[in-house]
Chains A and B, each alone.
Chain A
């Protein structure tokens, strides 16, 4: 009997599926409806429906009449006549449904559109750095209550600029979440979501330098009019297309010629070299390939250590950043390597200078080994020797430097010190006069 029941219910559900597909739903959108008392429903909506139909479906599920509720998305109450596919509602988005408080409602422009002062019919896109998708993606603007983090909030004033969006506590709102301490006097907190992956709660970082090229400005580098573009914050507001920006960042990264700014970190300025044009939000460098971005992060961390007076552990494969004591030259890295702060060779007593590399490497294991054979059996020996023979350390930061032709005037790519390959000290006019080219 039980088995029969099971088969019957299976059959019914199968039939239900068939019946459902017969309805010929064009493309259903699965969204969450959250009420202000914490209830959460999942509903499938037809993108062609208007908000009134949504209310008719959702209201009864919350025990309310359709006329008694309002639907809130991104800080705005949605008008009954709004069609779902016209608003910025993605798969598995959350909209808020709260009881109506009898205020007269007016049709409101969506926050997204007011922000850039666009006519309603234009489609605008925000760009965000998404840590999930590893790159620059389209984003959508959302609002929540700064107090209780609920999205059941309506804004009192529309944001008029990026600063309204990026700084919390500039725009007030009315939080309709039950039990929220802020209630009708809440601060609005704007945030972004990545549009390109379905996410419940991960937040994307807005990239305010990336603009839609509404003014058809040609790119500084390729001269084409492209969309979108990166607009730098210099007085000329120099503009470069996103693709050229990617090339710019990639080329500068490989030359290790990003700039370390105390205020903004490891960054780039406008390619025309304008004053005050540093990129202040480093997530714009998400334009780099993932491997390049990891390199960027490494360089940035190393630069931060070096600029702060620290050293990097010279052991191959380690490179940990260490801030040594001022009064001691002996630095012990967590990896176990102990080295001299000044010459970055294995630690030694007395002055820095040439030493037999066999003296490095710590305690003897107690075995007697033929020294000649041991010397041949060193994995890194060949590359170590190559580095020793073909490079000279920068007199300031000690980084091994190779001279690839050209003159003797060296510019350290790591610490920007200008030095002479021959004298191994600072470059002078005398160097230029007597051995500029050797």
Chain B
């Protein structure tokens, strides 16, 4: 990604080439690498494709997930940040949690209905960490097998009914 400098009367602005949403992602990536939330590791080499990220997450100490490692995948559309990212757990270890389906889909309202452009990858990671940390019993959602058998690959194609804020 090339840097272009343009001078205005008052200050010097750095303008990154590329679309607005890519520039915001670039910024988010840089700040996430510099100051990741606890338990979150971002690989600085996300490849050429800015619209697909993988993020490593470690189960917090003193919780049911202590010692476990998870991988999250973020997919961004050009409508980002006005459209939420598509976030799923991937890889061999999917956390066993009442809001996480065994195919990696996460039932979390900020990923669809309650998304706002003021949120970020950072805030999504924090929500997921806290969702895992507050879990009292490791179990799959009650409708897991039915959901996983029939659902679309894209979790955003599922219209969720959010009901349980306790876990």
Q: Which A residues form the contact surface with B (CB < 8 A)?
A: 220-224, 238, 240, 243-244, 247-248, 251-252, 271-273, 405-407, 409-411, 418, 429, 432-433, 436-438
Contact = CB atoms under 8 A, between A and B. Distances in A.
A301 to B, nearest CB: 25
B166 interface: no
Given A406-B158, A437-B147, A220 B82 contact: no
A437 B151 contact: yes
Contacts of A406: 152, 154, 157-159
A407 B21 CA distance: 28
Contacts of A418: 159
Contacts of B161: 409, 429, 432
B79 A251 contact: yes
A271 B20 contact: no
Contact of A221 (B82, B146, B147, B152): B82
Nearest to B83: A251
By secondary structure, the B interface counts as loop
A409 B159 contact: yes
Interface string B153-167: 010011101000000
A417 to B, nearest CB: 13
Pick from A273, A410, A429, A433 the residue with the most CB of B within 10 Å. A273
Contact of B82 (A271, A407, A410): A271
Contact of A407 (B20, B117, B152): B152
Contacts of B21: 222
Q: Which 10 A-B pairs have the closest CB atoms?
A: A406-B157, A437-B150, A409-B159, A272-B118, A272-B116, A221-B117, A271-B117, A251-B82, A222-B24, A407-B158
Contacts of B137: none
A405 B116 contact: no
A431 to B, nearest CB: 10
Given A238-B118, A244-B117, A407-B159, 20 more contacts: A222-B20, A243-B20, A244-B20, A251-B82, A252-B82, A272-B118, A273-B116, A405-B154, A405-B157, A406-B152, A406-B157, A406-B159, A407-B151, A409-B159, A410-B159, A411-B159, A418-B159, A436-B151, A437-B151, A438-B150
Pick from A243, A429, A432 the residue with the most CB of B within 10 Å. A432
A436 B81 contact: no
A332 B154 CA distance: 45
Contacts of A407: 151-152, 157-159
A438 B118 CA distance: 35
6 contacts: A223-B27, A251-B83, A271-B118, A429-B161, A433-B143, A437-B151
Nearest to A252: B82
B135 to A, nearest CB: 22
B23 interface: yes
Contact of A220 (B83, B114, B117): B117
Given A248-B82, A407-B157, A222 B152 contact: no
A271 B116 contact: yes
Contacts of B27: 223
Contacts of B79: 251
A221 B119 CA distance: 9
Nearest to B153: A405
A436 B147 contact: yes
B152 A405 contact: yes
Interface in B77-129: 79, 81-83, 114, 116-118
Contact of B117 (A248, A405, A432, A438): A248
Contacts of B83: 251
Given A271-B118, A406-B152, A224 B159 contact: no
Pick from A238, A240, A247 the residue with the most CB of B within 10 Å. A247
Nearest to B116: A272
Contacts of B157: 405-407
A201 to B, nearest CB: 34
A409 B146 CA distance: 15
A220 B116 CA distance: 10
Pick from A220, A240, A410, A436 the residue with the most CB of B within 10 Å. A436
B117 A224 contact: no
A371 B59 CA distance: 71
A248 B83 CA distance: 10
A247 B24 contact: no
